[in-house]
Copies of this chain bind each other. A is one copy, B any other.
Amino acid sequence: MLIRMKNDATSEQIQAVRSQLEVRTLRFHQTVFFGRQVLVVHEVFDTPKLHDASLFWASLLEYEAVEEVLVIPLPVQQRTLSSLKAKKERTTIEVGPLTLGNGHFAIIGGPCTVESEEELIQTAQAVKKAGAAALRGGAFKPRTSPYAFQGLREEGLKRLAAAREATGLPIVTEAMSPEEVPLVAKYADVVQIGTRNMQNYRLLEAAGKSQKPVLLKRGFSATLDEFLMAAEYILIEGNDNVILCERGIRTFETDTRFTLSLGTIPLLKRRTHLPIIVDPSHAAGDYKLVPALAAAATASGADGLLIEVHPNPQKAICDGRQSLTLDEFEKTAEACRKIREIINSVSLISGHDTGLEEQERVIPIPHRLESYLRISQ
Contact = CB atoms under 8 A, between A and B. Distances in A.
A145 B259 CA distance: 25
Interface stretch (A14-22, A129-137, A165-173, A327-335): A327-335
A142 B199 contact: yes
Interface stretch (A5-13, A86-94, A96-104, A263-271): A263-271
A255 to B, nearest CB: 5
- Counted per complex, copies of this chain come to 4
A368 B232 CA distance: 22
Contacts of A1: 147, 373
Contacts of A58: 375
Contacts of A315: 47, 368
A320 interface: yes
A202 B177 contact: yes
Contacts of A176: 200-202
Nearest to A67: B376
Contact of A253 (B43, B249, B291, B313): B249
A147 B270 CA distance: 22
Interface string A264-282: 1111001000000000000
Interface string A306-325: 00000001111110110000
A146 B42 contact: yes
10 contacts: A2-B147, A61-B375, A146-B233, A176-B202, A200-B203, A224-B253, A249-B253, A287-B361, A335-B346, A335-B349
